[in-house]
Amino acid sequence: MNTRGQVYLLAALLLGVVIFGLMYKLNVAHTQVIDDDFIEISTNYDRESSRFVNYLAQGKLHNDFNLTTLINNFSEFTVDFSSYAKTQNSHFGFVYLFDVSEQTNAFFVGNYLDQDLVVYVNNDIANSILLYGCYSSIQAGAQFDSFGIGAGISLSQISDCSSLQNITSGGMYNVTFVIGDVSYSVPIVLGVPEIVIVSNAFNDRQREVFVNDYLVEGKRIIIRSFCQDQLPLSVSSLTELCNCDKRNNEERCEELNSLGCLWSNNDCVMPS
């Protein structure tokens, strides 16, 4: 091989190494951005939501606690924070949990995902609730200094996405929520608003779910059995988790799909 050929070969090898290095760094950077977004959004939520804890403390101090006002304000805050977070990373959805059991034996849950959510306390599946997702109603663009405005969305628009649920057990408890065909259980911190950050991307057919400062491991469930044998009919008959015909597009029809739904002639159907 002549000298010129050796130079060309060396240049090609070096170029290949550079391209590989750039691709590797891009992949690492992408993963790091996602991880950083989880942490940044969670940290900002902890800071901003602390004012509701202060509001609660002030109300108790002055014997002026009003649950309706508190929940309305918190609902507006969840909309505003979701709007802000959507500008930071549009690939995340959110579930909000807020225990107020010390005053009312209840907790607040709000679903700002892109799909239905089944929620129950501890192992009480018989008293599960269904919350529809409000992700599509949230508009990106809120800033921190505008929190409290409600991002132009009335509370009636999120009434199907949030609920105030009674707690009968008393003391510490877990809230379990089912997304797709995976259930996640998280311990509730009494009196502290919490955020569940849910990635829309899938890893091994499971979403990444981040609660405050830690990742939550999900448990795969068989939806058909869960819907038929465990969920109350009042819930299972209404949710897309249990009914193919309520999944309104091809992606939703076939994702995380232990029901076996199939997309056919612009409809999501259960195979016969």
User: What's the count of helices (H) and strands (E) in the chain, helices before strands?
Assistant: 6, 13
Mean pLDDT across the chain: 80
Q: Which residues pair with 193 in a beta bridge?
A: 98
Q: What percent of the chain has pLDDT over 70?
A: 77
Mapping DSSP onto H, E and C, the string for 111-131 reads: EECCCCEEEEECCCHHHCEEE
The answer to the question of residue 206 being in a domain is: yes
The answer to the question of residue 229 being in a domain is: yes
- Over residues 60-65, the mean pLDDT reads 71
The answer to the question of residue 203 being in a domain is: yes
Quick one: which H or E segment has residue 26?
A: helix 3-61
Q: What percent of the chain has pLDDT over 90?
A: 28
C-alpha dist (Å) from residue 35 to 3, 72, 92, 93, 213: 48, 31, 12, 15, 11
Tokens of 79: 């909309």
Domain interval for residue 82: 3-263
Nearest to 195 by CA among 103, 111, 86, 88: 111
- Least confident interval from 73-77, 150-154, 263-267: 150-154
The answer to the question of residue 248 being in a domain is: yes
Tokens of 201: 């991307």
pTM confidence score: 0.80
How many whole angstroms separate alpha carbon 115 and alpha carbon 109?
A: 15
* pLDDT (tens digit per residue) in 178-205: 998 899 999 988 888 999 999 877 665 6
Given pLDDT bands bounded at 50, 70 and 90, which one contains residue 6? low
Between 7 and 125, where is the model more confident? 125
The answer to the question of residue 269 being in a domain is: no
The answer to the question of residue 271 being in a domain is: no
Indicate the number of domains in the chain: 1
Q: Specify whether the CB–CB gap between 183 and 217 falls below 8 A.
A: no
Predicted local distance difference test score (pLDDT) of residue 206: 65
248, pLDDT greater than 80: yes
The answer to the question of residue 74 being in a domain is: yes
The answer to the question of residue 268 being in a domain is: no
77, pLDDT greater than 60: yes
